[in-house]
Amino acid sequence: MEKQTVYIGADHAGWALKEGIEEYLQQKNIKVVDMGNQDLVKDDDYPEFGYAVAKRVVTDEGSHGIVICGNAQGICIVANKVRGARAATGFNEEVAQTSRTDDNANILCLPGRHIKIEDAKKIVDAWLLTEFSGADRHIRRLNKVKDIENQEYGDS
């Protein structure tokens, strides 16, 4: 079985949590690619990190992404600007799991200022271990999302 790859990125508000999650995943023998920021930079901005992770996830089939900013919303918005990205906030285990089973999310967005590392580890584990359900209603909804995306990009 091929080793799972997780791309991870965060701004200053999520940097410490990113570092902790990265170390945790590496201990679990999961390949982690750090898309930045490499160092804590107090005036960096989330868009470049959310975008970098999303671009890699959509071009590396089977990979996953984790992005972190202060409240998870801004970095989630920017990640979802990348065609094919399905970024979802996961502020607890159940929400993270349903973002996979129902929405087939490929990027998990975490709020660096609002969760502790131990809670984040549980959320990440739940998210990575959960598969898309493949239920007809969820496939139908995801196809509608693709249709909207195609209209937006002029592919219809």
Instruction: Report pLDDT digits (tens) over 104-121.
Output: 999 999 999 999 999 999
Instruction: Report pLDDT digits (tens) over 34-53.
Output: 999 999 999 999 999 999 99
1 pLDDT band, cuts 50/70/90, is very low
Please report, for the domain that includes residue 131, its CATH number.
3.40.1400.10
Cis peptide bond prior to 80, omega within 30° of 0? no
For the record, the structure tokens of 114 come out as: 């609002």
Q: What is the pLDDT of residue 155?
A: 72
Instruction: Note down the domain range covering 29.
Output: 5-153
CB-CB neighbours of 149 under 10 Å: 13
Q: Examine the residue annotation and report whether 76 is marked as an active-site residue of this protein.
A: no
Q: What crossing angle do the helices spanning 117-129 and 93-101 adopt, rounded to 10°?
A: 20
Domain count, the chain: 1
Active-site residue identified among 8, 21, 69, 76: 69
Q: To the nearest whole number, what is the mean pLDDT of the chain? A: 95
